[in-house]
Amino acid sequence: MKPDTDRNTTLFDRARRVIPGGVNSPVRAFRAVGGTPRFVQRAQGAYFWDANGQRHIDYIGSWGPMILGHGHPAVLEAVQKAILEGFSFGAPTEREIELAEAILALVPSMDMVRLVSSGTEAGMSAIRLARGATGRSKIIKFEGCYHGHADALLVKAGSGLATFGNPTSAGVPAEVVQHTLVLEYNNIEQLEEAFALHGKELACLMIEPIAGNMNFVRASIPFMRRCRELCSQHGVLLVFDEVMTGCRVALGSAQSVYARDIPGFEPDMTVLGKVIGGGMPLAAFGGKRAVMEQLAPLGPVYQAGTLSGNPVATACGLATLREISRPGFFESLSAMTRRLIDGLSGAAGNAGVPFCADSEGGMFGFFLLPALPQNYAQVMKTDGARFNTLFHGLLDRGIYIAPALYEAGFVSAAHTAADIDETVAAAREVFRTL
């Protein structure tokens, strides 16, 4: 399509005049892959249609929340009913209680939960609470894990374990990240060294159990077991960032997956988002009662949000959780996701393209590498130019995957075998050109 007839180009040019970079979240700008972002006009089921009316099979699903697909009838009905009752009250509602109860029933490691409006807000608040509850300042995070854009988390590793991190964003003073220690994901030796040096000063260790901002990298069972052991030994709170994986990789979230292999396993605190809001701006953080009661108005740790527990968002989240709790839901979703990665693996193998993939529940990732990476440095060895060719080849054929090689993908209950087969057929064509 010529630029002068491409409405996506027209809209992007218009957007850049009034919005920095033309987008309200950076990855949407297509800077990593080049080209023009697709501006979505509408979505239904497993598809969305861009400004030119082209249909795309959607494998980002609003970056994870749309586990039922777009416009699920039960969710639409719940949201429409809620809207008629009122958009926002600034006062408590019964529906907030119902959603909190539903979340706690699915994730029993938490006794109490506080609703907020974004994953960044939840992660930031969880760290503040961990510091307040322990009386300690220092935190551990892992390179390649994303926990939102709070200042203390926009940090890269220092020169060694005796030094703390350096800001990765302008506007973040060095003193703000001086208490953040950044370690290599899946590196047990480094983890043990960090606790030996700083264990008495650490408030929490925050981790994505499956790192979706490295595309899809699992914490190994031995590594996760050691995280749990060291946190328990040193009185450090283990914080699971399940904004992406929560109720997405399993009904009980990623922590239930690890509990299958580590008897009695559970984190001390959990951060949730995306699926629990069904696509609405809603997130949550929770933990044991003794920790959560340190929050205002009961305790000294301040946290507030004017639109937290929004009545429309809670209606959307509740309806979504009801649907995914139906018997057989995750078995079917997992099978469809595996069908996708098995098909892509076969297509790449036939074309002689290095390829590996992994999935859990309705979340997947793939790499143009011969073996699954275990940390950020290995992820970044992926051939970026080859990935960009793959991305645009699929996009031109109506297949929408994440416009960056380090982002996970998502399958919904609305994806059919025919959608998967169409995707694999398109990939087969593109792999032959790589």
Residues identified as active-site: 146, 241, 274
CB–CB of 403/239 below 8 Å? no
Number of neighbouring beta carbons within 10 Å of residue 77: 12
CB–CB of 282/316 below 8 Å? yes
Q: Which of 102, 77, 37 is nearest to 284 (CA)?
A: 102
Q: Which of 145, 220, 215 is nearest to 367 (CA)?
A: 215
